[in-house]
Structure 1
Amino acid sequence: MSEGREQFAEWIGRSIESTDRLCADSSAARMLASILPQCVPGGDADVMPALWHWLLFPQIVPLALNDVDGHPMRGGFLPPVDLPRRMWAGGAVSFHRDLCFGDEVTRKSTIADVVMKEGRSGPLCFVTVEHRLSVADRLVIEERQDIVYRGHETPRAPAGSVSPAPSMAWTEAVAPSPVQLFRYSAATSNSHRIHYDRSYATAEEGYPGLVVHGPLLATLLANLAERRTGNRLASFSFRARRPVFDIAPFLICGESGPDRVMLAARGPDGDDCMQAEATLRTPADGDR
């Protein structure tokens, strides 16, 4: 673990600050709305649903500065990790106040840690990025993003039969399509080719189909929680366990417990591909 921190010590603590604004009638907002079951919690059309802040701060660089996989080349804000594949593996979000369409949002991003590990398929590098989003100097959202870099080995499902995860009260089927994945890529300015370039995803990276974005899975789960409970979220955390592909329908599942909402995206075999949990805001919370 110390190896990664020593190798990338100059990146740990590095920060950047950006400002952006998202309008409800923007093309990004309309594209995301077109691929999600719709609900504006509380009936307030000005308030962004949970995780829609991921439409802000798109990372767009000249084509000459993009790598072969579609990502921007290494060595900018993120450290130049010498492993070819980069995935958003999980994260946690705390919602302190409503974020509204039209707000001018300032985000301060900081690299909190860089850790090297040895996995079953080879070396892994975990980069933790922390974000603080503010409106008029008031903290609105705090977020941790867990990014993992790995080698060319494609993760496979465990050998043998899979025991389906326990059933949940809410279950909805999602039939992913290239159009849905393209629209999410466009809405979030995500040029990673595994999400829209089938020949690259299958021939170069060895996947059986297009990969459903981890953030899209998380957004579907957050959307499920808000629709089924009728409340906005106070917090949301998620962890990706296995990729989801566009070659078969998958399920989004959830149920509300005494103090939190448990959520999962499940593949065709019934196993959890993403696990998440959320807590709900109550009227007494107000703008904390």
Structure 2
Amino acid sequence: MTQTPMLDAVALAHLETWQGKSETLHDSITAASLAALSATLDRDDPAPAPGTAVPPLWHWLYFLPHARASEIGPDGHPRRGGFLPPVPLPRRMWAGGRLHWDVGNPLQVGQEVQRQSTIESVKHKAGRTGELLFVLVEHRFSNANGLALTEEHDIVYRSAAQPGEAAPAPQKSPLAGQAAWSRAIVPDDVLLFRYSALTFNGHRIHYDRKYVTEVEGYPGLIVHGPLIATLLLDLLRRQLPQAQVTRFEFRAVRPTFDLHPFSVHGRPSPDGKTVELWAQDHEGWLTMQGQATLA
């Protein structure tokens, strides 16, 4: 059945006016958030103290949205509009990103940090399963010493699932069977709840089984994309604890559900300068792929 487009030329032109919009926020790097994520990931880290560096991707514990309860939409996210465009497509996902750290100027506990965010682009596409809208946001994190981290964040909005809609064909990782490191992850309700709580993420797809299955049409709770990306770099840190990550890019390929364990894998390049990282579900299908560059 052909879906009626929700985004005509007028609506799309309105959304495109968000391109170039920016906002600047400030936050403090606190120890409590780092200690809580360390416990959530089952790590045996020393207690963070002033000067402790924020591990790669753990900056997602800061600059959290604090929408009032009356401003929350039916999916648990803040109602659309404001900084992000008010996209009417109902399904919103974190599709991937690219990050660059200045290892000589790390974010550290005790610092006051500024984040400048800019909407770089708003792009529409009609896909096989309906409309898609891609929003690219750039975040620049600075401390008293200057720019510490640059992040490009890919957000994709999708049409609602249709009855009988076929899922995209799964794919295997090009490096399947070639991992040097592997770790099994059990995405139980406690893990998903703790990560949602730490990131103040009210999106119901991560904890409300009735909503995610009956409204958004998924078979189970969805494991957070940022959590999977964090687990990829956590695998690298467990194997190479002294390594300094300067760049990381990742792409979500397929949703991961809480119905079965999944696994994260890594393989360093022969010269040790990069590490290929990927996640796969219980059937071996690729769910996320990424590459880390080391100093």
Normalised by the length of structure 2, the TM-score is: 0.87
Alpha-carbon distance in structure 2 between the residues aligned to 1:31 and 1:158: 36
Please give the secondary structure, in 2, of the residue aligned with 1:182: helix
How many residues were matched structurally? 277
Which of 74, 77, 99 lines up with 1:71 in the alignment? Answer: 77
1:250: which partner in 2?
262
Please give the secondary structure, in 2, of the residue aligned with 1:107: strand
Superposition RMSD in Å: 2.4
Distance change (3 Å), C-alpha of 1:90 and 1:198: same
Do the aligned partners of 1:233 and 1:280 also contact (CA within 8 Å) in 2?
A: yes
Amino acid at match of 2:60: W
Q: Deviations 1:107-144 (Å, cap 9, x if unpaired)?
A: 00000000000111001000000000000150000000
Which of 39, 43, 46 lines up with 1:38 in the alignment? Answer: 43
1:286: which partner in 2?
none
Which aligned pairs between 1:1-288 and structure 2 lie closer than 5 A? 6-24=13-31, 26=32, 28-38=33-43, 46-96=52-102, 97-136=105-144, 138-153=146-161, 157-158=167-168, 166-167=176-177, 168-230=179-241, 231-257=243-269, 258=271, 259-281=273-295
Distance change (3 Å), C-alpha of 1:164 and 1:133: closer
Alpha-carbon distance in structure 1 between the residues aligned to 2:25 and 2:171: 44
Amino acid at match of 1:170: W
Please give the secondary structure, in 2, of the residue aligned with 1:220: helix
Runs of at least 4 residues off by over 6 Å: none
Distance change (3 Å), C-alpha of 1:255 and 1:156: farther
Distance change (3 Å), C-alpha of 1:39 and 1:143: farther
Distance change (3 Å), C-alpha of 1:143 and 1:170: same
Note the residue ranges of structure 2 that are not aligned, 5 or more in a row.
Answer: 1-8
Alpha-carbon distance in structure 1 between the residues aligned to 2:58 and 2:106: 12
Do the aligned partners of 1:226 and 1:232 also contact (CA within 8 Å) in 2?
A: no
Alpha-carbon distance in structure 1 between the residues aligned to 2:29 and 2:191: 21
Percent of residue pairs identical: 46
Mean Cα deviation higher: 78-87 or 105-114: 78-87
Amino acid at match of 2:258: D
Please give the secondary structure, in 2, of the residue aligned with 1:242: coil
Do the aligned partners of 2:262 and 2:280 also contact (CA within 8 Å) in 1?
A: yes
Note the residue ranges of structure 1 that are not aligned, 5 or more in a row.
Answer: 282-288
Amino acid at match of 1:58: L
